Amino acid sequence: MTATSIEKKVNGHAPAPGFDAVALAKAEAIRTKAAAEAEALRIEAEAKAEAEKILATEKAEKERIANERAAMRLEKERADHQAHLAKKAAETAKAKAEEEKADQAQAEQEAAEAERAAEQKRSENLWKWGARGIYLVGLIIAAPVQFLAFWDPQRPFLVAAPALLEGLALVLACGAAWAVAHRRDVLPYRIGIMAGALIAAGINLWHGLTDPAIGLNAGLIGAIASLGGPIVLMAYEHGIAQKVDGIPSFRERRATERARREQEAAREKARAEKQAAEARVAAEKAAAEARAEEEQRRKDNDRKQHHPEVWALADSMRSARGSQYVTEQIWADAWYRKTGSKTVGITVETEAETRAAQARMKTATELPIEGPLSLVNSQRPARQKKDPETPDGRRNNGGTPPRRRPGDSPPPHPIARAQARLERTTDQTAKDTP
């Protein structure tokens, strides 16, 4: 049996007596592990500190935003309250102004009505006493003429004839006033007044023409006085009777007629405008129906030309359903029954082409990128190529590979380290956040 001895070398040299390479390697591994653990703890501490800092910053930002929102909400509520108070004050002022305006208008109307009533009362008194005064003046003028005409010493009782003739009209005028006040027929009294006045006037005029002692002037003025007084008094009573009976005057009838003509003109104008509006709506409706029919014909011809099989089925369904046209619902049902697609316009071929295009797009978007645009291993800097003339270091140590130590391999790129640190911070924050 041949024993083969293995020469132990360290870095190409024979180890010193008592040197333990295994223990040295274990110690080196322990140091490396401790350094790695320390580095990991340091990185973890930095990540936690960074995460806490980020959380504190986010919390402060949230509190700031919450405070700003609360302040804005309070400011808005205050502004809304001020606007509400201003609106309420404006409404109160407006209501008060409208009430004052209404009170003022009512007061002005009452004052105008009172003034008008006073004017009516004054004019009525003037008219009443003027008519009575004219009647009295006529009586004063006509009575002496009649006394002279009827005076006869042989028949002294005829001196009462003037009182009869003039008193007849006066008494009938009083009767007419009574009829007006009691809402009775006043026409007989007016006929009696005019008959008595005409008799008295005729007597005065006759005696003025035939009696030289009276003369034509006195007879004529006596006739006028006998007629004028009763006529004026009758006119007054006529006005009072119309007022009591509620008969409108000529001015009121004219105003009423004008208002009626204006209302009739307004109604006629409104009727004409309504007819014009109805005619316009009817014309627009007819035009819309014509456009709809033209559009329906266009769609029917287009569908019949490009989709004859679906059109035949749709026309059959239209006839079965009793519809005048092939509606959109009927066309959609016919398309589904004929092609199996619920989307109008989509056929089996179109669906197949669409799915093939989608598969090609998915393949193109999910394949990895190779070549100069590839991003694989881009987080590490590119290795520097060694000069071909550089000798191999292993040739000087008897072929033993050199020991790998920390720092021999190129470190990760700074951007990659920052990205890894950010991802660890994000993961730690997600774990700590409830």
Residue 241 near residue 180 (C-beta atoms within 8 A): yes
102's CB contacts (< 8 A; 6+ apart) are: none
| CA–CA separation, 234 and 190 (whole Å) | 7
Q: Is 334 exposed, middle or buried (0-12, 13-18, 19+ CB in 10 A)?
A: buried
Confirm whether pTM is higher than 0.85: no
Predicted confidence at residue 2, as pLDDT, reads 38
Predicted confidence at residue 283, as pLDDT, reads 92
| CA–CA separation, 29 and 376 (whole Å) | 31
Cα torsion 238, 239, 241, 242 to 10°: value is: 120
Q: How far is C-alpha 68 from the geometric centre of its chain's CA atoms?
A: 34
H or E element that contains 88: helix 21-150
Q: How far is C-alpha 342 from the geometric centre of its chain's CA atoms?
A: 41
Predicted confidence at residue 424, as pLDDT, reads 77
Predicted confidence at residue 51, as pLDDT, reads 80
| CA–CA separation, 410 and 315 (whole Å) | 78
One digit per residue, the tens of pLDDT, for the chain of length 434 reads 333 333 444 444 455 555 566 677 777 778 887 888 888 888 888 878 888 888 888 888 888 888 888 888 888 888 888 888 888 888 888 888 888 888 888 888 888 888 888 887 787 778 778 777 877 887 777 777 777 777 777 777 777 777 777 777 778 877 877 877 777 777 787 788 788 778 878 887 887 777 777 777 777 877 788 777 788 877 777 777 777 666 666 677 788 888 888 988 899 999 999 999 999 999 999 999 999 989 988 988 988 888 898 888 888 888 898 888 888 898 899 899 888 888 888 888 888 888 888 888 887 777 655 555 555 455 555 555 566 666 555 555 555 566 667 766 767 767 777 777 777 776 776 666 65
* Helix and strand totals (H; E) in the chain: 9, 0
| CA–CA separation, 10 and 15 (whole Å) | 6
Predicted confidence at residue 375, as pLDDT, reads 53
Predicted confidence at residue 351, as pLDDT, reads 87
Predicted confidence at residue 4, as pLDDT, reads 38
Query: Quick one: tokens of 89?
Result: 């004050």
Closest CA to 15 of 5, 3, 24: 24
Closest CA to 219 of 200, 192, 232, 194: 200
Q: 3-state DSSP helix/strand/coil percent for the chain, to nearest 5? A: 75, 0, 20
| CA–CA separation, 199 and 230 (whole Å) | 12
| SS3 (DSSP) at 10 | strand
Residue 228 near residue 138 (C-beta atoms within 8 A): yes
Predicted confidence at residue 430, as pLDDT, reads 65
Closest CA to 39 of 417, 409, 426, 339: 417
